[in-house]
C-alpha cells in the first residue's frame, strides 16, 4: 500500500458574467489545470512523483490571479492533455492500493466536480484523508484550526528549497509529503476521511436575477413574453429587447436590453438538462459590467448584425 500526497491547481472563470460561467457555473466552478502528487511507501520513503498540466476545457483563459498564485502561464498548458486523459495517467500512476492524502479539504470537492463534469460515467473519488486536520488537531487541539502548509513546515523545521517553489501542485505535494514524514504516527490520518462538499457558485449579486421559465426548449422560450419583456435585475422595470435573441451556443441565447435608470442589461436564456434528463429554460438577467455609451452602442450594433445573419 502507498500513501499518495496530492495537490491540485485550478483555474477560475475570468468573470462570473462570462457566457461559460452563466451557462455552466453551477456544474463546474473551477477547471483543474495541474495535478501534482508524491508517492510514499509504507516505510515513508518517497518512491515517485507525478506532475501533470491539464488543458482547461471550460475556463480556457487563465485568470491573472491564478497565474499570480501558481506561477502557471498559458504557455505551460499548451499541448497539455484534457482532463480525462490526465486523469487516466494519474490513475495509472497511483496503482491499485493507495490512500489519497491532501492538505486541506478543498481539493477533493473540486476533483469530484471535474469528474462529474467531464466524464460520461459516474465516478466517485477514492477515499481521501486530510493531513491539515490531523496537524491542526495535534498542534491546536481542535478541529477548526486550519494551519497553512508553511506553518507545518516551520513547526518541523523543514526548509523550503529553491528546487521546490511553493504553490506549484507538485511542490506543494512534495512539502505535504515532507510534513507527513515528520509527523508522529502519521497514519492516524486514515481516521480522518474527507467528504466531498457540493460546490455552489457564490450567491448572485444584487445586480443579477435568475428564474425558471415554463419551457423545455429554447425555440419556444425566445418567443415568449417573459423573454421579450424581461425585467431589469436592479429595479424590476419591464424592458424591451430591441434586437431579439441570438444564440451563443446551442444551449444559450442572449439578448440586450436597456434600463433607463440602470443601463445595459444582458438577458440570457439557458437550457439546463438535469442528470435525470429533465429540461428547463432559465432566464438570467444581469447588469453589464461595462456601461460607457460607446461600448453599449457597439454592442447593440453587433447584436443587430448577428440577428440579421440569423434571419437571412
Residues that bind Zn ion (CB under 5 A): 232, 234-235, 237, 259, 261-262
d(CA 62, CA 10): 9
The single residue listed with the C-alpha cell 465516478 is 123
d(CA 48, CA 236): 59
CB of 259 to Zn ion, least distance (A): 3
Residues whose CB is less than 8 angstroms from the CB of residue 18 and which lie 6 or more positions away in sequence, other chains included: none
C-alpha cell at position 16: 462570473
C-beta closer to Zn ion: residue 84 or 237: 237
d(CA 267, CA 19): 11
CB of 255 to Zn ion, least distance (A): 16
CB of 238 to Zn ion, least distance (A): 10
Instruction: Name which of 234, 298, 290, 287 is nearest 265 in CA terms.
Output: 287
C-beta closer to Zn ion: residue 177 or 259: 259
C-beta closer to Zn ion: residue 20 or 286: 286
d(CA 146, CA 3): 22
SS (H, E, C) 64-110: HHHHHHHCCCHHHHCCCCCHHHHHHHHHHHHCCCEEEEECCCCHHHH
CB of 260 to Zn ion, least distance (A): 7
CB of 206 to Zn ion, least distance (A): 12
Pairing of strands 128-130, 98-102: parallel
CB of 116 to Zn ion, least distance (A): 37
Question: Among positive and negative, which fits the CA dihedral 65, 69, 73, 78?
Answer: negative
CB 239 within 8 A of CB 255: no
C-beta closer to Zn ion: residue 258 or 272: 258
C-beta closer to Zn ion: residue 150 or 292: 292
Q: Is 130 helix (H, G, I), strand (E, B) or coil?
A: strand
d(CA 312, CA 173): 56
d(CA 230, CA 157): 61
C-beta closer to Zn ion: residue 132 or 286: 286
C-beta closer to Zn ion: residue 72 or 285: 285
C-beta closer to Zn ion: residue 222 or 259: 259
Amino acid at each position: 500500500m502507498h500513501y499518495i500526497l496530492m495537490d491540485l491547481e485550478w483555474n477560475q472563470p475570468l468573470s462570473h458574467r462570462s457566457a461559460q460561467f452563466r451557462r455552466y457555473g453551477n456544474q463546474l466552478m473551477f477547471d483543474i489545470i495541474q495535478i501534482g502528487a508524491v508517492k510514499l511507501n509504507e516505510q515513508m520513503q518517497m518512491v515517485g512523483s507525478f506532475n501533470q498540466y491539464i488543458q482547461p476545457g471550460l475556463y480556457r483563459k487563465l485568470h491573472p490571479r491564478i497565474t499570480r498564485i501558481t506561477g502557471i502561464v498559458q504557455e505551460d498548458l499548451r499541448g497539455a492533455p484534457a482532463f480525462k486523459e490526465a486523469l487516466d495517467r494519474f490513475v495509472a500512476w497511483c496503482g491499485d492500493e493507495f490512500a489519497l492524502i491532501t492538505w486541506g479539504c478543498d481539493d477533493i470537492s473540486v476533483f469530484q466536480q471535474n469528474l462529474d463534469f467531464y466524464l460520461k460515467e459516474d465516478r466517485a473519488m477514492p477515499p481521501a484523508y486530510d493531513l491539515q486536520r490531523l496537524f491542526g488537531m495535534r498542534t491546536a487541539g481542535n478541529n477548526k484550526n486550519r494551519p497553512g502548509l508553511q506553518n507545518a513546515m516551520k513547526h518541523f523545521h523543514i526548509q523550503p528549497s529553491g528546487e521546490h517553489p511553493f504553490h506549484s501542485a507538485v511542490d506543494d505535494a512534495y512539502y505535504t509529503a515532507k510534513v507527513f514524514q515528520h509527523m508522529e504516527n502519521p497514519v492516524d490520518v486514515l481516521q480522518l476521511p474527507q467528504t466531498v462538499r457540493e460546490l455552489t457558485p457564490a450567491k448572485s449579486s444584487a445586480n443579477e436575477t435568475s428564474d425558471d421559465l415554463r419551457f423545455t426548449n429554447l425555440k419556444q422560450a425566445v418567443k415568449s413574453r417573459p423573454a421579450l419583456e424581461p425585467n431589469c435585475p436592479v429595479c424590476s422595470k419591464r424592458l424591451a429587447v430591441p434586437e431579439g435573441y441570438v444564440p451563443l451556443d446551442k444551449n444559450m441565447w442572449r439578448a440586450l436590453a436597456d434600463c433607463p435608470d440602470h443601463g445595459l442589461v444582458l438577458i440570457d436564456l439557458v437550457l439546463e438538462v438535469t442528470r435525470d434528463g429533465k429540461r428547463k429554460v432559465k432566464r438570467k438577467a444581469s447588469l453589464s459590467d461595462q456601461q460607457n455609451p460607446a461600448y453599449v452602442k457597439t454592442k447593440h450594433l453587433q447584436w443587430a448584425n448577428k440577428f440579421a445573419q440569423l434571419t437571412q
